[in-house]
Structure 1
């Protein structure tokens, strides 16, 4: 199935915006949803809406089967060894905060080190800042190469025997860099540290095998991979999760409640307090079915092809600055750029007038913006439903934007 055929499976893409056919180039922020996912979520509410685990009636059993069935789909999707290692959360942010609040706060002490990089999303920065303040640990940053990549020599020089946590994004939401997570995890483990992976931009676009990566924790969100908003996953190695305390308390996660003491359910449910995100999990399961029907290898190859085409076409525009690796082989389907003296918000506004949706701002990566010596950038991000024609329209829109502001000023 080619991208033109795939695009037809996404109802939202068949519309005009501001009088022009929609060209959606903001999938790094959130992807669009295929009709199969929309219908599966709707089916839950229309046919078997019920709470899970607690009831023995037919609807409750159906909902529980679909909810836990989605967990098994996630397990297979990321190649976890057990469903006990798959915890449903609200998203990547909640997953990383859970690691920080439960594992890190209990295990870190004065002088321990947490290592992250300058390219991290705020969701993989602020939780560690807070943990460092609360425990006396030291937050250290991996330096970046000139093209925004991470050198393993720098990892070896930064990670020490005092390092207890290394937390790195698999794929940068700004630079598009695909980081050598497996090698970084090996270096972390050689120094006695655990490896946390922000997989928000990886899970939608390439095959993930948490056992092969040998990461200790892996976090990702459903809404970036054709699933609903408000659902995500925290993967953790069983032995680590078993020794962690829950961060939310209430119904669903308990085993026994006395007047003054309580005990918790076994994994994974001890981390899923309250009524879970049932429709979201079922929708995520449907999204996994959809992505696997296309093939993650095919999706990755398609995005590399689009990135290569976009790099070539956009580089020919006068005044264009593109951030990140010059080679499409080193990046996912993300192109972040600035155009001469035109503010990124102005670029995005002019493009939007022609129905072209891109993102502008700091992309929740202000430390990286400072490293790049800019206050903001524009970003075009591609997914399985984008085509070379979409990139052609983007390039035409950028040329038009440049000409417009040249005439104005």
Structure 2
């Protein structure tokens, strides 16, 4: 099934914006939702809405089966060994914070190091900053190469036997860089550190095998992979999760509560305090079914062609600067750019007038913007429903933008 056929499953894409057919190029921020996900949510609320686990009535059992069934779909999607290793949370941000607050607070001390990179999303910087402040540990950064990639030699030079946590995004939401997680994990483990992976931009686009990666934690969000907002998952190796303490307390996660002492449920429920994100899990399960039917390998192949086509097409526009790996280099389906001296917000505004949705700003990556020596950029990001024609529309509108601002100034 090609991208034009897939577009038919996404009702939001069948509309005009400002008098033009919509071209949605902002999937790195959030993807659009197919009818299969929308209908799964609708069906849940119409026929199965109930709280899970505690009830014995029919709706409660039905909701529990859907919720736990979604957990098993996540397990298979990333090839985890057990559903005990899959924690449902609000998304990548919550998952990374959980690792920092639970595992980090218990295992990191003043003489230790935490290692990340300059390209990280704020969600994979701030939790480690806060952990370093709380424990007195040292926060270190793996430097970037000139093209925005990571050198394994630099990883080896940065990670030491004092390093307790290495946390790296698998795919950059700005540069499109695909990081060598399996190799970085090996270096982390050789030094006795655990490996945390921000998989927010990887899970929607690449086939993920956490056992092959051998990472200790892997976090991702549903809304970037055709699922609903407000749902995501944390994978953690079972032995590590068993040792960790929860950071949210209340209903659902308890085994026994006394006046002065309480005990927790087994994995994975001890980390899921309060009423779970039931509908979100159902929607995420439907999204996984949809993506699995298409095939992650097919999605990756399609997006690789789109990324190459976009690089070739946009690089020919005079005055454009593209950040990250250049033509001929492996990159994800994200192209971040600036056009002459036109502010990215002005670029995005003109493109919106043409019915083209792109993102403009610092993309929750202010340290990376500083490294790029800019305050902001424009970003076009592609997904399974985008076509080469969408990129042609973008290129033509960028030329119009360039001409417009040349006339103005």
Tell me if both proteins adopt one fold, taking TM over 0.5 as the criterion. Answer: yes
Secondary structure in 2 aligned to 1:204? coil
Write out per-residue CA displacement over residues 340-393 of structure 1, whole angstroms, 9 at most, x where no aligned residue: 000000000000001100000000000000000000000000000000000000
Unpaired stretches in structure 2, ≥5 consecutive residues: none
Q: Quick check: 2:312–2:327 contact (8 Å CA) kept in 1?
A: no
Secondary structure in 1 aligned to 2:105? helix
Q: Note the 1:8-407 alignment, pairs <5 A.
A: 8-327=8-327, 329-407=329-407
Count of aligned pairs between the two proteins: 409
Q: Quick check: 1:90–1:230 contact (8 Å CA) kept in 2?
A: yes
Secondary structure in 2 aligned to 1:9? coil
Q: For the residues of structure 1 that align with 2:76 and 2:55, how far apart are their CA atoms?
A: 27
Secondary structure in 1 aligned to 2:173? coil
Q: Quick check: 1:254–1:270 contact (8 Å CA) kept in 2?
A: yes
Task: Return structure 1 stretches of 4+ with deviation > 2 angstroms.
Answer: none
Deviation at 1:238, TM superposition (A): 0.4
Q: Quick check: 1:304–1:328 contact (8 Å CA) kept in 2?
A: no
Q: For the residues of structure 1 that align with 2:379 and 2:282, how far apart are their CA atoms?
A: 31
Write out per-residue CA displacement over residues 280-327 of structure 1, whole angstroms, 9 at most, x where no aligned residue: 000000000000111100100100100100101101111000000014
Q: Quick check: 1:171–1:179 contact (8 Å CA) kept in 2?
A: yes
1:4 aligns with 2:24: no
Secondary structure in 1 aligned to 2:396? helix
Q: Quick check: 1:307–1:328 contact (8 Å CA) kept in 2?
A: no
Secondary structure in 1 aligned to 2:349? helix
Deviation at 1:106, TM superposition (A): 1.1
Q: Quick check: 1:78–1:209 contact (8 Å CA) kept in 2?
A: yes
Q: For the residues of structure 1 that align with 2:282 and 2:35, how far apart are their CA atoms?
A: 14
Q: For the residues of structure 1 that align with 2:85 and 2:125, how far apart are their CA atoms?
A: 24
Unpaired stretches in structure 1, ≥5 consecutive residues: none
Q: For the residues of structure 2 that align with 1:89 and 1:328, how far apart are their CA atoms?
A: 38
Give the alignment's TM-score, normalised by structure 2. 1.00
| Distance verdict in 2 for CA 1:80–1:188, change over 3 Å | same
Deviation at 1:111, TM superposition (A): 1.7
Write out per-residue CA displacement over residues 72-116 of structure 1, whole angstroms, 9 at most, x where no aligned residue: 000000000000000000000000000001000111101200000
Q: For the residues of structure 1 that align with 2:126 and 2:286, how far apart are their CA atoms?
A: 32
Give the alignment's TM-score, normalised by structure 1. 1.00
Secondary structure in 2 aligned to 1:273? coil
